[in-house]
């Protein structure tokens, strides 16, 4: 079909775009790497200014701001303390935020799994020694509620499952193929992997997601993966979008 289209001169399919007057930067999984996030936010501001025009700045953080890296508390504070009126933020909840919020709500059975998957580092960033909680998980919800500043808890609870901007849908992990966007389950948006990654169906909007580490931004017809594994690789990436244009910015401490 593609060859037939070329021969008869049909126009190619329309490329996904964000609405006129908007400039969007989507940030992949931060995972406690404040040392990468802080310069990246500065470079986003510089890039936005350099591109000029009247476009409004919209920053989307794709979730998993916490765990694994050493500075989850600072990551949350960097975002929670940013009160600039000229920046619109959308913060999406990842599977790691889901685990933390469940524990805050008293679900202690998830404590060992969370600690093993980066929660221990998050506790340390808030000045809490995680050692005792492998053997005493029931104590953690109370300690966690006391350790986290109230505005950090409010910030985490205010995170969204998804945000749609023009022809793009921003989620943490992906979507369930074949399910209408407004019927997607929050857990799928935060946890799905294989069924989404192997799907070639047209989802309607192009899905911009993190959750699954890629060596570089992976552009597919139906999705764009931007988690470059900050906690593991020392590279945190932002995808820029304006009109039909796409570009990337990467904060890196990987020796390259």
Look at residue 83 in the predicted model and tell me its pLDDT: 87
Give the largest CA-CA distance in the chain.
Answer: 70
| pLDDT tens, residue by residue, 101-157 | 999 999 999 999 999 999 999 999 999 999 999 999 999 999 999 999 999 999 999
CB-based contact 30:65 (threshold 8 Å): yes
Look at residue 253 in the predicted model and tell me its pLDDT: 86
Q: How far apart are CA 171 and CA 207, in angstroms?
A: 7
Q: How far apart are CA 168 and CA 98, in angstroms?
A: 23
Report how far apart, in Å, the C-alpha atoms of 28 and of each of 36, 66, 117 are. 11, 12, 18
In degrees, rounded to 5, the angle at the alpha carbon of residue 76 between the alpha carbons of residues 28 and 161 is 55
Look at residue 5 in the predicted model and tell me its pLDDT: 42
Look at residue 254 in the predicted model and tell me its pLDDT: 65
Report how far apart, in Å, the C-alpha atoms of 155 and of each of 16, 104, 218 are. 31, 13, 29
Secondary structure (3-state) at 240: strand
Q: How far apart are CA 151 and CA 170, in angstroms?
A: 24
Reported pTM: 0.93
HSE (side-chain half, CA atoms, 13 Å) at 83:
1
| pLDDT tens, residue by residue, 48-66 | 999 999 999 999 999 999 9
Averaged pLDDT, groups of 10, the chain, 256 residues long: 44 79 98 98 97 96 98 98 93 98 97 98 98 97 97 98 98 98 97 98 97 98 98 97 98 72
CA 65 to chain CA mean position, Å:
7
29 exposure class (CB count in 10 Å sphere: 0-12, 13-18, 19+):
buried
User: What is the radius of gyration, based on Cα positions, of the chain?
Assistant: 19
């Amino acid at each position: 079909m593609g060859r037939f289209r070329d021969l008869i001169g049909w126009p190619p399919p329309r490329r996904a775009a964000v609405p006129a007057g908007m400039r969007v930067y989507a940030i992949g999984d931060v995972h406690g790497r404040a040392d990468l996030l802080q310069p990246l936010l500065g470079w986003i501001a510089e890039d936005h200014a350099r591109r000029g025009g009247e476009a409004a700045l919209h920053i989307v953080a794709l979730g998993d701001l916490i765990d694994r890296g050493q500075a989850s508390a600072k990551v949350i504070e960097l975002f929670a303390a940013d009160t600039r009126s000229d920046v619109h933020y959308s913060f999406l909840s990842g599977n790691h935020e889901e685990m933390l919020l469940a524990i805050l709500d008293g679900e202690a059975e998830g404590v060992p799994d969370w600690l093993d998957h980066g929660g221990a580092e998050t506790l340390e960033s808030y000045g809490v020694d995680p050692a005792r909680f492998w053997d005493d998980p029931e104590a953690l919800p109370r300690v966690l509620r006391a350790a986290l500043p109230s505005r950090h808890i409010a910030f985490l609870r205010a995170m969204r499952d998804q945000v749609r901007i023009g022809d793009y849908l921003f989620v943490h992990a992906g979507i369930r193929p074949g399910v209408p966007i407004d019927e997607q389950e929050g857990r799928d948006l935060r946890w799905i992997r294989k069924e989404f990654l192997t799907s070639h169906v047209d989802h309607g909007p192009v899905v911009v997601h993190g959750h699954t580490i890629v060596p570089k931004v992976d552009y597919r017809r139906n999705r764009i993966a931007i988690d470059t594994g900050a906690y593991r690789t020392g590279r945190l990436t932002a995808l820029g979008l304006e009109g039909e244009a796409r570009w990337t910015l990467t904060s890196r401490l990987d020796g390259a």
